[in-house]
């Protein structure tokens, strides 16, 4: 090239791309069935994407839970499974990884996140107590209720507004919390249920500053803070990117600093920790640990495996280490941002700012003409599958369930369809296909009609509820 040419080449190259910090070693074929087949599959599934067969799905964005691709190191770790009933090597590796990266003293393994939620809720909630938190999560709240607690949402109001651009919409509103504590008394607060990136708010993070203030408040009132650490690594990334003073810290440093201000954490390792199954519960207080270790034997398995095979614990220990690497987290969240920014460019209504693990389509923005008791987000989720074989999930009135006191739908402010991106699984081309599918469904929004629920399970109804179209 001549020097003049080199110069223009250099100018064109101003924008530098980054790429995934891995290459692909094994592939799993996927295929798209015909539109007629999809229509039949959807009808058979009662218009609920949870009831579809995965073979009928093209790009599966139902969840980022247990859907990660494991690394070659993790697969090698599988061969190192020590399947001793008690005291497996892999347990000690896992315990060490949790201590090293999350910083808690004691760890109890569980089969997945809800196993840990069950143990914690049964151990630390006294019937009649309140559990304030930054927006509910389905299984978390149910375990708190089953233990006799009442969940109280004390998240900042901004979290309920999908247009609000606040960088930390997962924050706890300390005024709301203060009012509650004044009203019911600190002794009637079981603990603070704090989630790192709030799933139901659109994957929105909590700031270090907010936790620092919360810690101060809780220490003054003698209240413990337990962290839902399921997506805390992604939360740490947002702190690094958005909060003053953290740009030069590593994800691992931020994670540890955050956890150090809490009393313990539960984990669905199927998310951040890059495994297909697993979970853990970690606390600093030895007496509490002892109680949890006694209970795990009843519900999960011995305290050195908690429902996991030795090989699963090994893959998890390795996954914890891989999960906190800065280049991994950047590419993981970066892929979510890539999809979200495409949709924003096309002015499609999504929750802003874009969250860490998923894009949340704002179904109210698609279907202002469909009332909430005709489940607009369920409609949108079904339409997207029908158009393109892309599977998302409803996060609106169906997921919110019924109020146990009044028996009526909860009618949440947010009516969302979640497109969760599995970690290390899909390419940028898949994201392009998804974005175009959403655009087509959006363009056809005016002709779309609502659904009626024809079967409703009592608990966590979104998993198995069935619907029929209204015409
Ligand atoms: C998935 C999830 C859980 C429950 O974990 P499971 O492993 O699915 O049992 C709890 N909290 C949050 C925020 C989750 O996303």
Q: Which protein residue has the closest C-alpha to ligand 1 atom 8?
A: 113
pLDDT confidence of residue 404: 86
| Class of domain 72-323 as given by CATH | alpha beta
Other CB atoms within a 10 A radius of the CB of residue 31 amount to: 9
Q: Which protein residue has the closest C-alpha to ligand 1 atom 2?
A: 268
| Ligand 1 geometric centre to CA of 203 (Å) | 13
User: Would you name the residues annotated as active-site residues?
Assistant: 85, 137-138, 228, 271, 395, 462
Tokens (6 digits) for 464: 């198995």
**pLDDT band at 376; cut points 50, 70, 90:** very high
| Ligand 1 geometric centre to CA of 265 (Å) | 12
| Ligand 1 geometric centre to CA of 117 (Å) | 9
| Ligand 1 geometric centre to CA of 402 (Å) | 20
Instruction: Please say if the pLDDT value at position 2 is more than 80.
Output: no
230, 273, 278, 319: residue to mutate for ligand 1 pocket, most atoms within 8 A of CB: 230
Beta bridge partners of 359: 419
Tokens (6 digits) for 405: 């006191």
Mean pLDDT of 360-371: 97
62, 63, 65, 110: residue to mutate for ligand 1 pocket, most atoms within 8 A of CB: 65
Please identify, by atom number, the ligand 1 atom nearest to the C-alpha of residue 199: 13
**pLDDT band at 13; cut points 50, 70, 90:** low
Mean pLDDT of 105-112: 98
In angstroms, rounded to a whole number, what is the distance separating the alpha carbons of residues 128 and 416? 32
| Ligand 1 geometric centre to CA of 325 (Å) | 22
Question: Is the Cβ–Cβ distance between 54 and 30 less than 8 Å?
Answer: no
pLDDT in tens, 37-67: 999 999 999 999 999 999 999 999 999 999 9
pLDDT confidence of residue 58: 98
Break the chain into its structural domains and give their ranges. 17-64+326-469, 72-323
Q: Which protein residue has the closest C-alpha to ligand 1 atom 14?
A: 230
Task: Identify the residues whose C-beta falls under 6 Å from ligand 1.
Answer: 65, 112-114, 137, 139-140, 195, 199, 228, 230, 268, 270-271, 279
pLDDT in tens, 392-442: 999 999 999 999 899 999 999 989 999 999 999 999 999 999 999 999 999
The more confidently predicted of residues 293 and 162 is 293
In angstroms, rounded to a whole number, what is the distance separating the alpha carbons of residues 461 and 402? 9
Name the CATH topology of 17-64+326-469. Answer: 3.90.1150
111, 201, 271, 399: residue to mutate for ligand 1 pocket, most atoms within 8 A of CB: 271
Instruction: Please say if the pLDDT value at position 4 is more than 70.
Output: no
Q: What is the pTM of this model?
A: 0.92
pLDDT in tens, 150-191: 999 999 999 999 899 999 999 999 999 999 999 999 999 999
Instruction: Please say if the pLDDT value at position 249 is more than 90.
Output: yes
pLDDT confidence of residue 14: 67
Mean pLDDT of 85-104: 98
pLDDT confidence of residue 1: 46
- Please provide the average confidence, as pLDDT, over all residues in the chain: 95
Q: Which protein residue has the closest C-alpha to ligand 1 atom 12?
A: 230
Instruction: Please say if the pLDDT value at position 73 is more than 90.
Output: yes
In angstroms, rounded to a whole number, what is the distance separating the alpha carbons of residues 57 and 388? 9
């Amino acid at each position: 090239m001549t020097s003049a040419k080199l110069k223009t080449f250099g100018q064109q190259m101003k924008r530098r791309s980054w790429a995934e910090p891995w290459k692909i070693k094994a592939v799993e074929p996927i295929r798209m069935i015909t539109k007629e087949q999809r229509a039949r599959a959807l009808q058979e599934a009662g218009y609920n994407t949870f009831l579809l067969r995965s073979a009928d799905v093209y790009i599966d964005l139902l969840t980022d839970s247990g859907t990660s691709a494991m690394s070659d190191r993790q697969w090698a770790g599988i061969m190192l499974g020590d399947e001793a009933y008690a005291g497996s090597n892999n347990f000690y590796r896992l315990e060490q990884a949790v201590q090293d990266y999350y910083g808690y003293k004691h760890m109890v393994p569980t089969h997945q996140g809800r196993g840990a939620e069950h143990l914690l809720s049964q151990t630390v909630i006294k019937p009649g107590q309140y559990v304030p938190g930054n927006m509910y999560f389905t299984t978390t709240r149910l375990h708190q209720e089953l233990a006799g607690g009442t969940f109280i949402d004390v998240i900042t109001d901004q979290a309920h507004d999908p247009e609000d651009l606040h960088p930390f919409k997962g924050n706890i509103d300390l005024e709301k919390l203060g009012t509650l504590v004044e009203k019911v008394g600190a002794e009637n607060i079981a603990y603070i249920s704090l989630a790192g990136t709030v799933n139901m708010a659109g994957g929105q993070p909590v700031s270090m500053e907010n936790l620092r203030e919360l810690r101060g408040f809780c220490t003054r009132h003698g209240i413990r803070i337990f962290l839902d650490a399921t997506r805390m690594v992604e939360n740490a990334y947002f702190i690094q990117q958005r909060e003053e003073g953290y740009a030069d810290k590593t994800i691992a440093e931020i994670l540890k600093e955050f956890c150090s201000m809490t009393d313990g954490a539960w984990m669905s390792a199927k998310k951040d920790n890059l495994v297909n199954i697993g979970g853990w519960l970690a606390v600093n207080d030895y007496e509490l640990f002892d109680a949890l270790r006694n209970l795990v034997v009843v519900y999960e398995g011995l305290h050195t495996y908690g429902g996991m095979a030795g090989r699963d614990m090994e893959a998890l220990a390795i996954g914890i280490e891989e999960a906190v690497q800065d280049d991994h987290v950047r590419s993981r969240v970066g892929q979510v941002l890539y999809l979200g920014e495409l949709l924003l460019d096309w002015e499609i209504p999504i929750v802003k700012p874009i969250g860490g693990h998923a894009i949340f389509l704002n179904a109210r923005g698609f279907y202002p003409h469909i009332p909430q008791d005709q489940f607009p987000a369920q409609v949108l989720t079904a339409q997207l599958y029908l158009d393109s074989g892309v599977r998302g999930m409803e996060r609106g009135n169906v997921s919110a369930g019924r109020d146990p006191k009044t028996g009526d739908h909860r009618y949440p402010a947010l009516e969302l369809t979640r497109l969760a991106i599995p970690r290390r699984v899909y390419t940028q081309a898949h994201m392009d296909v998804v974005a175009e599918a959403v655009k087509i469904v959006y363009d056809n929004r005016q002709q779309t009609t609502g659904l009626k629920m024809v079967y409703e399970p009592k608990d966590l109804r979104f998993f198995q509820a069935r619907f029929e179209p209204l015409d």
